[in-house]
Amino acid sequence: MILRNTIANGQLLLLLMLLYTSEYLCSGKTVSTEPLAVALPEPRAYLPDAQNLDFVYHDHEELTRFLRATSARYPNLTALYSIGKSIQGRDLWVMVVSSSPYEHMVGKPDVKYVGNIHGNEPVGREMLLHLIQYFVSSYNTDQYVKWLLDNTRIHILPTMNPDGYAVSKEGTCDGGQGRYNARGFDLNRNFPDYFKQNNKRGQPETDAVKDWISKIQFVLSGSLHGGALVASYPYDNTPNSRICRSSALCAMFQTYSAAPSLTPDDDVFKHLSLVYARNHAKMSRGVACKSATPAFENGITNGAAWYPLTGGMQDYNYVWYGCMEITLEISCCKFPPAYELKKYWEDNQLSLIKFLAEAHRGVQGFVFDPAGMPIERASIKIKGRDVGFQTTKYGEFWRILLPGYYKAEVFAEGYAPREVEFVIVEQHPTLLNVTLQASKRVEGVGAGGPSFYRPMQAPQHYRPGAPPYAAAASNDNGILSTISNGLNSLYSNIFG
């Protein structure tokens, strides 16, 4: 009966060990303290060249091996490159997944995902590895994936903060250990800010990302975080009220009031956030992670209405480069146990794919000169939406817009500005090609005689006029400002 119960309880190995020890004790022989040579399974089955990627956390060496092996196995669908190194010398790897991985596909948009900007929030890091695996393994069997990869170049940066991840602890749901880079900087507070001067010293990781997005005209982007369950959209920061312009204490208390800070493209950002939330298994329910944390209607929020922050990456993408980026908080626990990763993948898989397809919504086209040659860096602004964008070296442009009637203002140095009208419908992007005429010749201008009149050069990117009180608010300093910054840091450590 004892033997039968032991076997039934799955304790056969322990019984054999006891019998083995008892035999040696009875014979008077010394019992060895070496472990039995029993064929036990490895703690995980991950192999860098395996077809399938396990649902475990991968350190930087394993992550690198997986990306390299995937690139070698799928050379027609992937390309691996580094945009720079972390402070401790770890590569910031980017994997391109596309049917044209090594070169830009003219007329087809570039999009990106960035994970693990906070080192202790690694669920997004693992989700992006599984997304890569799913794309390459499903290209020939999933028609939707094939269409997406045939018409889009997808750039995936699984970890922006590998140094922070290296010191993080699995199972830690809250706190700040590993959140920051190796110098103690929060990378999602380290970008230039539209509303307030950001005096924090630039870090190698953020400098690498800034250089990256200055070279590629990204249309759409998602940044993956943990600590909440919500899709958050710009603006993350907000101008201080005029009454607070000279009071750090006033600004501190206003920081934690729920005040939305809306972009000119608020309708688009809400739509993009809803696309992710509604395709997610749970996010759109808007359930709070904990009783003390906020619930979000439909699983989305304006960033500043949640809590304002200075130097965020999504605001920088949008204001400086016209890239529509949202922040995706995908796990209530920042660093949940590895056995939960499969559940997170099942929750997020459809959202991650459907969100990228939104790059094909709105208007797209080319800007040409009269000879049919593309005009690089032509500036474009949708009338009534003061954050603009520019053409690529091939004259391409894209803008995500919802159905409606629009006017676009297009101009470039040496060409006469032009205004064009167009309509967006629900199902297909509107194709819009614009030809700019050279500016008229004006005689006797300048010491050299005849020359071309050139209108005032457009700024590199349109930006809304800076609030007149933003600069004044940025000058607050001293102990109250320090307290305000400390509270902001504490709030971030709790909520993501």
Query: Which residue carries 């919802």 as its tokens?
Result: 402
Residues 263, 161: Cα–Cα separation, whole Å: 28
Q: What is the mean pLDDT of the chain?
A: 82
pLDDT band for position 490 (cuts 50, 70, 90):
low
- Is the pLDDT higher at 104 or at 481? 104
- Mean pLDDT for 281-306 is 91
Q: Regarding the domain with residue range 60-360+471-495, which homologous superfamily does it belong to in the CATH classification?
A: Zn peptidases (3.40.630.10)
pLDDT average, residue stretch 115-133: 98
User: Does 18 have pLDDT greater than 70?
Assistant: no
Domain ranges of the chain: 1-37, 60-360+471-495, 363-452
Specify the pLDDT at position 270. 98
The pLDDT, as a whole number, for residue 50 is 42
For residue 31, name the pLDDT band (cuts at 50, 70, 90): very low
pLDDT over 60 at 298, yes or no: yes
Phi/psi region, residue 384 (left: phi>0; alpha: psi -120 to 50; beta: rest), is left
The single residue of 121, 126, 329, 396 carrying the catalytic annotation is 329
Among candidate residues 174, 159, 311, the one with its CA nearest the CA of residue 235: 311
pTM: 0.81
Cα dist from 413 to 376, 390, 460, 463, whole Å: 10, 12, 11, 18
- Per the CB < 8 A criterion, the answer to whether 336 and 233 are in contact is no
Non-local CB neighbours of 316 within 8 Å, separated by 6+ positions: 191, 192, 193, 210
Given this model, what pLDDT does residue 493 score? 58
Percent of the chain with pLDDT over 70: 75
Query: What digits encode the pLDDT tens for the residues 390-422?
Result: 999 999 999 999 999 999 999 999 999 999 999
Asked if the model's pLDDT at residue 470 lies above 50, the reply is no
- The CATH class given to the 363-452 domain equals mainly beta
Q: Tell me, yes or no, if 42 is annotated catalytic.
A: no
Average pLDDT over residues 52-79: 95
Q: Tell me which of 43 and 180 has the higher pLDDT.
A: 180
Give yes or no for a contact between 96 and 79, defined as CB atoms under 8 angstroms apart: yes
Q: Residue 441: what pLDDT?
A: 59
Q: How confident is the model at residue 386 (pLDDT cuts 50, 70, 90)?
A: confident
Backbone φ and ψ of 112, nearest 5° = -150, 155
Quote the distance between the C-alpha of residue 333 and its chain's center: 19
120-124 average pLDDT score: 98
Q: 441 vs 485, which has greater pLDDT?
A: 441
What pLDDT is attached to residue 292?
77
